[in-house]
A and B are shown apart, each in its own frame.
Chain A
Amino acid sequence: MTATVPQPTTAPTRRLMEGSEAIATAAIAAGCRFFTGYPMTPFTEVLEHFARLLPDVGGVCINAESELEAVGMAWGALATGARAATGSTGQGLSLMQESFSEITLAELPLVIFNMARGQADYFQATRGGGHGDYRHVVLAPMDITEAAELTQLAFHLGDKWRHPVLIYGDYLTAHIQEAVSVSPIDFGELPPKEWAVDGALGGSGRSRSVSPLGFGKVGQPAPGIERHLRDIDAKQRRIAAQEVRVETGFVDDAETVVVAFGTPAKFVRYVVSRLRADGEKIGYVRPITLWPFPYESVAEAAAGARTVATFELCAGQMVDDVRLGVLGRAPVVTIGGISTDGSGFGVGPLLDAEIIRDRILAVHRGGAEAELPPLPVNERG
């Protein structure tokens, strides 16, 4: 059930890169030739790097006048068969949701970068966020190296399923520097994009249309809206069955299981491995795909656990999915919380290995009812 990310096929060159640059570089290595966005912290640098790098490879980066126009431009580029992407923070993505819904119904492989302000965009990312019955594939890298790999995977999965894929990053994903190597990764063959418009079939009676509405041109087979919606539903079920990605550690005999994703998961992984070294029977589950969510891995990990905890940098959203996975096998509690820097854009004092350790140990010793240490306060206001 756990798919792995194939490794680069050519000798990579490691270089110190900001996460934003690694993402843009990886996207271009994956063949992305169109990017558009609207500046917004902490997403802005992703746009900057695309603007700098795309013209050199014959691509286009447009500084869109609004998020609504950014996603519209990407939509048009995708309809021509190009690999295209957009992004913002969760706030900017809120503005794009109407188009996300309909791009999903138009079956276009949009790649979306959310450099989120914390983890409170989990519902937005995994529940669609717009109208209608849809889910996007959501990939949550824990660091820059993984962000570069998952960015390339995102374009592949998008084309494989003709379905949008969202990368859930954050302030640290965008701004931390790591030594990263980026070279094209071969994920295997993809079907040709025979649906893409190029204008060539005009007047032939066989002109193409890329539409979310479930009807095409007169005289051509079209499902109609009801069957079209059911086809999308069926496709999403296949994605859910085939594309789950997850990492687990120390769960076999774990009495406490901690579930975390993205940057905080890297902290949780570190803390749990140190606690293991101290003999504490604690394990972790790190969903790499937030949708499809690794319910089975969570269920297996919870089977012998006394307590399941989520560590999220928000009031607790993923905890709902964890409860669905655990299905009453163990009590589920969220031990993260709201924590930001003074601007509200960045990282708060909660993202600290010692503080996370104390919170994990509190539920490990006292169970789901344990009183947690008070949330650290951002002293700088």
Chain B
Amino acid sequence: MSTTVNPLGPVLDTSAAPADARKVGELKPDLLLTQQHHMCPGCGEPLAVRVFLEAIQELGVAQKTIAVAGIGCYTSFSGTIDVDLVQALHGRAPSVATGVKRMLPDTVVFTLQGDGDMVNEGLQEVLHTAARGEKVTCILLNNGVFGETGGHMTATSVLGQRTKNTLDGRDAEYHGYPILIGDLIAQLQGAAYVARGSVHNAGAIARTKKMFRRAFEAQLAGEGFTFVEVLTMCPTGWFIPTAEGPDYMHETLGEVHIMGELKAAGVVRSTEELHDENVRRAEEAAAAKARDLAAKHQ
């Protein structure tokens, strides 16, 4: 976060909301039956749900969409999202989605799962479904923690992350390494589109919505299996102040599970490549800034 003060005053005065401003949370997406939810303050999951529902709405496929929900905090949205839904068991949504799609091949079928559901309990399900090239979209809400049980390590928790069963932080030697699930899926031939988004700021949310649109479009075009991971804040499960959620996530999970498209138009890019690209961009930006400064002082 920049702390530089602009001597000309703020470009946009954010010290108080404009009189006609409305909170995004008050704007209910059409495909939500109520704007009320059971999530904790600062949770990223309602944002992710809003984004994929908006993508479905914008693509005009709400009347041929079927959701398959796993088990986690987000399961409470099973009762409030206004598309047909099959409630699956923890970890088992991809196989249930397979059965739905095979019987109704003209529908848009997506799963809604967390990292505990998909990467712990049901890892083989999502990999097999991807390898089979099932024309479904698996959505992973990844917060690196079992939020519903109260903050326990998952297979995506990052090294050093403190949880109720990694009290001194996740230690590679003792707890093993996090799984970069998107990279695994991107390697499979049946996967047509694989992306990792985030909801920690407005720009990330906008990019994530594009990812959802691309995934659903690829599914509709019959290109194969599609996958969108979304990093979501869980300040309760991370034991941090609510308002620090987005920054904490960007600096911890976001440094490991890096945002970007891991497979699109047949091109696979690893998380490591996304990381290197981010570093290169940051270095280029810093160099450009330095050149500007140098030019000003000449």
Contact = CB atoms under 8 A, between A and B. Distances in A.
Interface residues of A, number: 48
B31 interface: yes
A199 B83 CA distance: 7
B185 interface: no
Nearest to A78: B99
Contacts of A202: 31, 56, 62-65, 82-84
A198 B104 contact: yes
Nearest to A75: B96
Interface string B89-118: 100101111111111100110000000000
Nearest to A201: B84
Contacts of B187: none
A28 B276 CA distance: 55
B165 interface: no
A258 to B, nearest CB: 41
B252 interface: no
A120 to B, nearest CB: 27
A91 B39 CA distance: 40
A238 B81 CA distance: 34
Contacts of B78: 209, 211, 213, 215
B278 interface: no
Interface string B30-67: 11011000000000000000000000110000111110
B160 interface: no
B171 interface: no
Contacts of A65: 124, 128
A350 to B, nearest CB: 39
A213 B98 contact: no
Given A33-B103, A76-B68, A80-B103, A203 B108 contact: no
Interface in B94-151: 94-104, 107-108, 124-125, 128
Given A99-B92, A199-B84, A204-B82, A76 B103 contact: yes
Interface residues of B, number: 41
A212 B56 CA distance: 26
Contact of B92 (A72, A84, A213): A72
A73 B89 CA distance: 12
**Among B57, B66, B124, residue most surrounded by chain A Cβ atoms (within 10 Å):** B66
Interface in A53-107: 60, 62, 64-66, 68-80, 82, 84, 98-99, 102, 106
B87 A99 contact: no
Contacts of B99: 34, 36, 72-80, 84
Contacts of B65: 199, 202
Nearest to A74: B99
A210 B83 contact: no
A69 B134 CA distance: 13
Given A197-B86, A199-B84, A202-B83, A69 B100 contact: no
Contacts of B102: 34, 60, 62, 73, 76-77
Interface string B1-38: 00000000000000000000000000000110110000
A207 interface: yes
B266 interface: no
Contact of B64 (A62, A76, A200, A204): A200
Contact of A209 (B57, B87, B92, B95): B87
Given A199-B84, A202-B82, A203-B62, A72 B31 contact: no
Interface in B211-245: none
B40 to A, nearest CB: 20
A355 to B, nearest CB: 44
A219 interface: yes
Contact of B124 (A66, A70, A200, A216): A66
A359 B80 CA distance: 63
Nearest to B129: A69
A205 B96 contact: no
A213 B63 contact: no
A44 to B, nearest CB: 20
Contacts of B108: 199
A266 interface: no
B88 interface: yes
Contact of B85 (A73, A84, A102, A197): A197
B79 interface: yes
Interface string A20-33: 00000000000001
Nearest to B99: A76
B62 A79 contact: no
Contacts of A78: 99
A217 interface: yes
Contacts of B57: 203
Contacts of A219: 33
A332 B95 CA distance: 45
A205 B33 contact: yes
A60 B95 contact: no
A218 interface: yes
Given A62-B98, A79-B99, A218-B34, A198 B84 contact: yes
Nearest to B60: A203
Contacts of A102: 89
B242 to A, nearest CB: 26
A208 interface: yes
Interface in A127-154: none
**Among A34, A66, A79, A198, residue most surrounded by chain B Cβ atoms (within 10 Å):** A79
A197 B82 contact: no
Contacts of A203: 30-31, 57, 62-63, 82-83
A72 B68 CA distance: 11
Contact of A218 (B33, B66, B86, B104): B33
5 contacts: A60-B102, A71-B95, A76-B68, A199-B84, A203-B63
Interface of B: 30-31, 33-34, 56-57, 62-66, 68, 78-89, 92, 94-104, 107-108, 124-125, 128
Given A76-B98, A209-B84, 15 more contacts: A66-B124, A72-B89, A72-B125, A75-B95, A76-B96, A76-B100, A79-B86, A79-B96, A79-B100, A82-B103, A200-B64, A202-B84, A204-B82, A211-B85, A217-B33
